[in-house]
Amino acid sequence: MSAFKTLDDLGDVTGKVALVRVDLNLPMQEGTVTDDTRIRAAAPTILELSEKGAKVLLLAHFGRPKGERVSTQSLSMVVGAVEKTLGKEVMFVPEIAGPVVAQSIGILRAGDIAILENTRFWKGEEKNDPELVKAIAANADFYVNDAFSAAHRAHATTEGLAHVLPAYAGRSMQAELEALDKALGNPEKPVAAVVGGAKVSSKLDVLKHLVKQVDHLIIGGGMANTFLAAKGVDVGKSLCEHDLADTANEILAIAEASGCTVHLPYDVVVSKEFAANPPSLRTCNVHEVAADEMILDAGPNAVETLGDVLKTCRTLVWNGPLGAFEMVPFDAATVALAKTAAALTAEGSLVSVAGGGDTVSALNHAGVAQDFSYISTAGGAFLEWMEGKELPGVAALSA
């Protein structure tokens, strides 16, 4: 992993002004924050800087105001929720640069915290405009990036600032980078990857990258159907991208050339209707799917084999459920394999890292999220990292 500075590398910051990029893109309903997970993720960094005596200015985006002031997307709405989670008073500043910010800094005492306005109210944010970067930086002494979830974007406050101010990774960013490095950067071998979910087309680059990196690639969900069909299996009415047969075969060929074993289910759970507990539910061999049936989960024999694969591995990276887990009983394969992974992690034989919106819900549903070594909640950034891409926000911290 390329080297980046952390809060451990800060000298005396008493009275110094810190610009801290965090993720405050919080779920809201009628002006009220409904889930403070992202605030809790940023809290250790904010409180540590505050305790060290810095004046802490939080920078974040909210929604997609596209460079205009949109009053319903002002970050003033999250101040109460942030105060509650931090247990500290937080000032709101309706600008991100200029004299209003400078005056506010004059009022703040060492250790005080302020939230600046939604960075996306300014067009220069998403354009990474050097003038805006300079104007924001002018009020500060150093920059901390604690928003891994925004690190796949080269914006003024996620990337630009790191080039003009002394830049540090916050605690949450640091934990994410260390976990991801253990999973794919510098993993203990053998490595298994589970890639599931609805469509191959949404994860082509992930698959292409992983087959060259891992020892076992476990393909599940709707995307397994595309691979099965490409191998000549009749998948009936299953969700399947028949036009991607050539691509699927190409990926299988790269896997073979790279010594990666690809696992596809050989028994499956099928039904005629896309519904929970359907009357036509049955389990069969992949070669026995009828023309009017669809595959909605991996079968019990496949899951047992996959569990045995994980037992031989030291590292697991997981994105995408093995079946249509929102409907019972098509959650069974995902839940069973997740429990095996959690147990192996608890025993200390497996490092397990998972990410993706539906994956996190599926692991919560299985009741094992806290047993994985690391769960990333950074949707887009996590996937780009699984594609092997360098994230601009991370690269800028190491420059």
Residues that bind Mg ion (CB under 5 A): 357-358
Q: Binding mask 152-191 vs ligand ADP (x if CB under 6 A, - otherwise)?
A: ----------------------------------------
Choosing among Mg ion, ligand ADP, none, which partner's interface includes residue 393 (Cβ < 5 to 8 Å by kind)?
none
Question: If we measure between CA atoms, which residue out of 314, 47, 38 comes closest to residue 176?
Answer: 38
Non-local (6+) Cβ contacts of 232 within 8 A are none
d(CA 312, CA 68): 54
CA dihedral over 263, 267, 271, 276, signed as positive or negative: negative
Please tell me whether residue 358 binds ligand ADP under the rule CB under 6 A. yes
Interface pick for ligand ADP out of 78, 115, 295, 394 (rule CB under 6 A): 295
Establish whether 199 is a catalytic residue: yes
Please tell me whether residue 395 binds ligand ADP under the rule CB under 6 A. no
Interface pick for ligand ADP out of 70, 91, 154, 198 (rule CB under 6 A): 198
Query: How far from the centroid of its chain's Cα atoms is residue 164's Cα?
Result: 27
- Residue 53 carries which DSSP code? T
Tokens 């389990």 belong to residue: 283
Establish whether 31 is a catalytic residue: no
**Nearest 10 degrees: CA dihedral of 174, 179, 180, 182?**
130
Tell me phi and psi for residue 187, to 5 degrees. Answer: -80, 155
Establish whether 171 is a catalytic residue: no
Q: Which of 80, 185, 379, 380 is catalytic?
A: 380
Contact positions with ligand ADP (CB under 6 A) in 318-347: 319-321, 323-326
Please tell me whether residue 265 binds ligand ADP under the rule CB under 6 A. no
d(CA 171, CA 82): 17
CA atoms within 13 A on the CB side of 361: 11
Q: Which position's Cβ is nearest ligand ADP?
A: 197
Q: Which of 199, 208, 282, 314 is catalytic?
A: 199
Q: Which of 38, 120, 171, 182 is catalytic?
A: 38
Q: Are the C-beta atoms of residues 45 and 209 closer than 8 Å to each other? A: no
Choosing among ligand ADP, Mg ion, none, which partner's interface includes residue 319 (Cβ < 5 to 8 Å by kind)?
ligand ADP
CB of 392 to Mg ion, least distance (A): 23
d(CA 246, CA 261): 19
Would you state the structure tokens that stand for residue 200, as one six-digit string? 């191959």
Q: Which of 53, 357, 379, 388 is catalytic?
A: 357
CB of 126 to ligand ADP, least distance (A): 24
Segment interacting with ligand ADP, rule: CB under 6 A, options 77-85, 174-182, 303-311, 352-360: 352-360
Contact positions with ligand ADP (CB under 6 A) in 218-257: 221-222, 239
Establish whether 53 is a catalytic residue: no
Q: Are the C-beta atoms of residues 328 and 277 closer than 8 Å to each other? A: yes
Choosing among ligand ADP, Mg ion, none, which partner's interface includes residue 222 (Cβ < 5 to 8 Å by kind)?
ligand ADP
Choosing among Mg ion, ligand ADP, none, which partner's interface includes residue 221 (Cβ < 5 to 8 Å by kind)?
ligand ADP
d(CA 108, CA 290): 69
Choosing among Mg ion, ligand ADP, none, which partner's interface includes residue 353 (Cβ < 5 to 8 Å by kind)?
none
| Runs of H (alpha helix) within the chain | 37-51, 79-86, 99-107, 123-127, 130-137, 161-164, 171-180, 204-213, 221-230, 245-258, 300-311, 332-347, 357-366, 379-386, 392-398
Nearer to Mg ion, 194 or 252 (CB): 194
> Mapping DSSP to helix (H, G, I), strand (E, B) and coil, where does residue 362 land?
helix
CB of 238 to ligand ADP, least distance (A): 6
Please tell me whether residue 377 binds ligand ADP under the rule CB under 6 A. no
Nearer to ligand ADP, 174 or 238 (CB): 238
Tell me phi and psi for residue 294, to 5 degrees. Answer: -125, 145
Nearer to ligand ADP, 74 or 202 (CB): 202
Residues in the site for ligand ADP, rule: CB under 6 A? Answer: 197-198, 202, 221-222, 239, 295-296, 319-321, 323-326, 356-359
Q: Which residues are catalytic?
A: 38, 199, 357, 380
